[in-house]
Amino acid sequence: MPETSPTLLKRSHPLASADSQRQVLDQIVTPSFAEAVAGAGYRPLKARSIEVLQINLGKRCNQTCRHCHVDAGPDRPEVMSEEVLEACLNFLAARDIPTVDITGGAPELHPGFRVLVERARALGRQVIDRCNLTITRLPNYAYLPEFLARHHVEVVASLPAYGIKQTDLQRGGGVFSESILALQHFNELGYGVEGTGLVLNLVTNPVGAFLPGNQVSLEREWKRELKRRHGIVFNKLYTITNMPISRFLEFLETSQNLESYMERLIQAFNPQAVAGLMCRSTLSVGWDGKLYDCDFNQMLDMALPQHMLDIQLGELEERVIQTGAHCFGCTAGAGSSCGGVTTG
């Protein structure tokens, strides 16, 4: 099983608090993100619709990846209550939101995960499971691949590299070999195989303080190498920029890369990446029912005034999005979102 290490919270690290993280980011001299997007014609940056309800079931995870913006890990107790989960399902039933994106932590560790999948699918919604792969190798969760396939859940699986060194460096020793076995099992069930309709997408985050490469070019290479080395097939590769939040922020500070990384993000600001920003079409729900523009704002405690237990959709659909210096992570280069690049 993968090696894990204590989370920031467990280590009583100052960056465990969202306030501290925001203070660190505020201390770095950056241009205003709001001004940058205004220059691209978005004054202010507003949501255009809600196409994705992203539900964060909690911070429990069986891994402690070094770049994790959630500070998730085995020692985190936060999980969504039944009441909030029920409110999410009621909200979905009442609204025409096509996609449910389930995340965490490892969302599958939540006792209500199966019910959420079954009921969201019964409502006819596309369901995405953000899966860390190794969770399916734990004895109590071996049922997951078959369960996900039965309900035609789209699997978006994390894998930083197609080689062992970088993967284990970022995600913990032993993660790569377990992930490969998990991917092979998903393939056996038809995931990623043309004609089955079972979608298996991979997500890669850079293993360090640099931007992700060209998504199209990397996808071509990953498909060739994963097939050649391990016989694995998949649908799409998403490249995602590491956000200067939580454990990645800790890495940036300790490695003295924070200032240069922020400079890199700002220097690579791409006005064309703004139109497709995920916050413009996503509503993010925290484990405690608070609402956010995205999972990153969630981790920085930048909550919207509304709560899942008293939600009024009308006010949310064209809301002004809350932004900060971290948002430069989503507009750098080809752009970044939970669905990969935002341009092209």
Partner 1 sequence: MDTYYHPKDLAHFPDIGRDAPELWSKFMAWYTAVFAEGALSEREKALIALAVAHTVQCPYCIDAYSTACLEKGADLEQMTEALHVAAAIRGGSSLVHGVQMRTHVHKLSM
Rg, the chain, Cα only:
19
Per-residue x/- track, 164-193, partner 1 (CB under 8 A): -xx---------------------------
Piece in contact with partner 1 (CB under 8 A), picked from 24-32, 35-43, 131-139, 211-219: 211-219
Of 54 and 215, which CB lies nearer to partner 1 in the complex structure?
A: 215
Of 29 and 194, which CB lies nearer to partner 1 in the complex structure?
A: 29
CB of 243 to partner 1, least distance (A): 16
Of 263 and 288, which CB lies nearer to partner 1 in the complex structure?
A: 263
Of 91 and 269, which CB lies nearer to partner 1 in the complex structure?
A: 269
Among 196, 214, 270, 306, binds partner 1 (CB under 8 A): 214
The amino acid present at 112, given as its one-letter code, is: G
Kindly compute the dihedral angle of the four CA atoms of residues 217, 219, 220, 223, in this order, to the nearest 10 degrees: 160
**What is the C-alpha to C-alpha distance for residues 103 and 87, in angstroms, rounded to an integer?**
17
Say whether residue 221 binds partner 1 (CB under 8 A): yes
Among 218, 233, 266, 303, binds partner 1 (CB under 8 A): 218
Say whether residue 217 binds partner 1 (CB under 8 A): yes
Piece in contact with partner 1 (CB under 8 A), picked from 2-10, 30-38, 162-170, 180-188: 162-170
CB of 216 to partner 1, least distance (A): 9
**b/e for 167-177, b at 16 or more Cβ within 10 A?**
bbbbbbebbbe
CB of 224 to partner 1, least distance (A): 11
**What is the C-alpha to C-alpha distance for residues 130 and 234, in angstroms, rounded to an integer?**
15
Instruction: Write 304-313 long-range contacts (CB < 8 A, 24+).
Output: 308/84, 308/87, 308/88, 308/91, 309/83, 309/84, 309/87, 311/87, 311/91, 313/50, 313/91, 313/95
Of 161 and 252, which CB lies nearer to partner 1 in the complex structure?
A: 161
162: left (phi over 0), alpha (psi -120 to 50) or beta: alpha
Say whether residue 210 binds partner 1 (CB under 8 A): yes
CB of 213 to partner 1, least distance (A): 4
| Helix/strand/coil percentages in the chain, nearest 5 | 40, 15, 45
